[in-house]
Structure 1
Amino acid sequence: MSTPLRVGVIGVGMMGADHANRLANRIAGAQLTVVSDPRADQATAVAQQYGARAEADPLRLIAADDVDAVLIASPGVAHPEQLLACIAAGKPTLCEKPMTMDSESSIAVLRAEAAAAEPVLQIGFMRRFDPGYVELKALLDSGELGRLLLLHNVHRNKQVPNPDFRSEMIVRDSLVHEVDVARFLFDEEITAIQVLSPAPSSLAGAGVIDPQVAIFTMAGGGMVTSEVFCNSQTGYEVRCEAVAERGSVIAGQPWNTLYRTTVDSVAGAGGTGGSVGRWGGRLPDDFTQRFARAYDIEVQAWVDAARRGERIGPSAWDGYAATAVCTAGMQSLVSGERVAVDLIAPPGA
């Protein structure tokens, strides 16, 4: 393809608007042409800002002649219909996680793509494109540290602005990233999950279990612990420690880019003064800051592949497998028990 890839964005809330800005200003070989959102005023404002047009119906956006590829950032409940339309249209599609809200709808999407002429779906697990996680994966694959035994994940949000945010959303919408990280780094499936419920923060919503701790059992016997805390108040903090036979390594430390020490003055007893040393760096406020580079790399790689007529990155199978683990995780959230993860055979296997 010698001309720019004309991209339509479905859903221009916080994530979709960030992608619209990215496509318009930072991605080579792409042109933002159409945006769609149930809030007509929001769609119109974003479209006018970037010289695109607004389309009320997302299915019309998918079918539009001025859309070569589709980026889906709508709520997960809308994904099945939109993904099936993209598959039917044969248009390259980057869909933000989760692929769908439950295993059954993910299987329907997976099978529809398998029956199509070519795979078109890439699922938005952007950590696979984050430089730190990419470096960690390469180190583990090199064999230098021996066999991977354990992962320890931390995933903290400063706060959740959604007043309707519930406990199960922590599993389905947040923990899903740790699910994909575990599958990516171990290069194998998760066979069981247990979600534990510590005493909740007083700053979480009424009845919301936050934080949560999940334990994954991997197919090869490895284990993964994942803390997800959506109202930590301190900032957006995501990191992963891999423990292998001959060493350990951490990706995502907040001082990877800047670590500093400083001295603060303090008042002493009897009016005397003094000082205290402090160390650390600044935590980002949200995912658009922490993973800005990862999103740029992810979307650029998707655009480049689409222009070549190829598909790269996390597949529909990866989206389905993550959804299946989270479906089992929501069962465990209720019972507190370990729940087995049952996956179908990959289409065509």
Structure 2
Amino acid sequence: MTSLRVGVVGVGLMGADHARRLATRIAGASLVALADPDVERAQALADELGGSGGTVRVHADPLDLVADEGVDAVLLASPGSVHEEQLLACIERGVHVLCEKPLTMNGDSSRRVVEAERAGGRDLVQVGFMRRFDPEYVRLHEMLADGRFGRPLVLHQTHRNLSVPNPDFRSEMIVRDSLVHEVDCARWLLGEEIVSVQVIGPTPTRHALDGVVDPQISIFRMASGAVVTNEVFVNSRTGYEVRVEAVGEDGSAIIGRPWGEVYTTTAGHDGAAGTWGGPIVPDYRVRFERAYDLEVQAWVDASLRGEVVGATSRDGWISTLVCSAGMESLASGRPVDVALP
């Protein structure tokens, strides 16, 4: 196989972005199918992208796309609540799949996906933790691994969004859908497991939806005794800011900073992103555009080789377990141990 025929499930913001990426920027792949219950939106996107590599078929049912013999691999950008069924269908058919986070909504369903993949005897699932492909994150990972800072002691992670217009976005979703990135980064950067998590809610911003705890501060205790602090603020009103500071016994490093000296932020107006003396990017598609390109290209190349790169289904399962403990801590305010497999 010299070209991977890819179908994309879900044509919302993330899925449409991936579809355009596959159609215009990824080598060795062709976009051949889309699936979404909103057939009109899927058809409009198919019409837009069909000229880049022939006709793009449209399915109303994602399982029909998975069963399509003209599809070699599947990119899942559907809601997490339907991931288990779609992943199991991909595994049963034996096609490679790139699944946007979360893997599934709870530990039991994630375990079933891992077990099905193992029973099939082939690694097929990559989870879309794109920060593992971001050049700054890759560099920090290398620096921590080579020991130049001594033993890592503390990791500070910041994750801010401009706003969340979804009226159904609740406090638990900040843990499950946003903090999950920090969970994976902590495990990957430090090379060890999270053994306990505590989520603390300060006084919510006035911009939060009624009853939503935003921002949230969480503390991970790692197996080595290192501590990871996380701020997730989904209605910051300043823009999309993601950065990390790693502190070791003999030095430290910071990634994700766009500034040189004193740094301040001011809110934008009428829903626009704020500024720091230069513009703050509005969302993840700008901040991590390069990371997504590298991630999808690596997935295509690995799929053509019959391999999996990046985060595995087991990584997705463990991240789900940590987030489940985080949601329990959010409710109680107390540290919760992570039940690792």
- More off after superposition, 307-316 vs 223-232: 307-316
The 2-side partners of 1:50 and 1:310 are apart by 28
Structure 2, unmatched stretches of 5+, are 51-55, 264-274
Which residues of structure 1 form unaligned runs of 5+?
262-277, 345-349
Q: Is contact 1:155–1:237 with CA below 8 Å preserved after alignment? A: yes
Q: Distance in 2 between matches of 1:236 and 1:62?
A: 34
Q: Does structure 1 residue 226 correspond to structure 2 residue 225?
A: no
Q: Under a length normalisation based on structure 1, what TM-score does the superposition of the two structures give?
A: 0.91
Shift, 1:281, TM fit: 2.6
* 2:207 maps to 1:208: no
Structure-to-structure mapping, 1:20-59, within 5 angstroms: 20-51=19-50, 52-59=56-63
1:198-223 Cα deviation digits (max 9, x unpaired): 00000110101000000000011100
Alignment partners' CA distance in 2, 1:97 and 1:170: 13
Q: Kindly provide the amino acid, as one letter, of the partner of residue 333 in structure 2.
A: G
SS in 1 for 2:303: helix
The residue aligned with 1:264 is none
Separation (CA, whole Å) in 2 of partners of 1:327 and 1:235: 27
Of 136, 143, 161, the match for 2:140: 136
Aligned match of 1:301: 298
Kept in 2: contact 1:190–1:325 (CA 8 A): yes
1:41 Cα deviation from its structure 2 partner: 1.1
Identify the residue that residue 11 of structure 1 maps to in structure 2: 10
**Aligned position for 2:272:** none
How far apart are the structure 2 equivalents of 1:107 and 1:132?
31
Give how far 1:279 is off: 6.7
Inter-partner Cα distance in structure 1 for 2:327 and 2:36 = 29
The amino acid of 1:336's aligned partner reads G
1:67 aligned counterpart, secondary structure: coil
The within-5 A match list for 1:231-250 is: 231-250=235-254
- Work out which of the two has the higher radius of gyration on C-alpha atoms and give 1 or 2: 1
Deviation, 1:191, is 0.4
CA distance in 2, matches of 1:148, 1:245: 7
Segment drifting more, 193-202 vs 139-148: 139-148
CA shift in 2, pair 1:149/1:32, >3 Å: same
SS where residue 105 of structure 2 aligns? coil
Q: Tell me the alpha carbon deviations over residues 29-62 of structure 1, each in whole angstroms, 9 at most, x when there is no partner.
A: 1100000111111111111111111111111101
SS at match of 2:164: coil
Q: Quick one: which of 94, 99, 104 aligns to 1:95?
A: 99
Shift of 1:280: 3.6
- Aligned twin of 2:270: none
Counterparts of 2:132 and 2:259 in 1: how far apart (Å)?
20
- Counterparts of residues 128-277 of structure 1 (less than 5 Å): 128-255=132-259
The share of aligned pairs that are identical, in percent, is: 59
Paired residue type of 1:324: L
What is the letter of the counterpart of residue 153 of structure 2? L
| Matched residues, number | 325
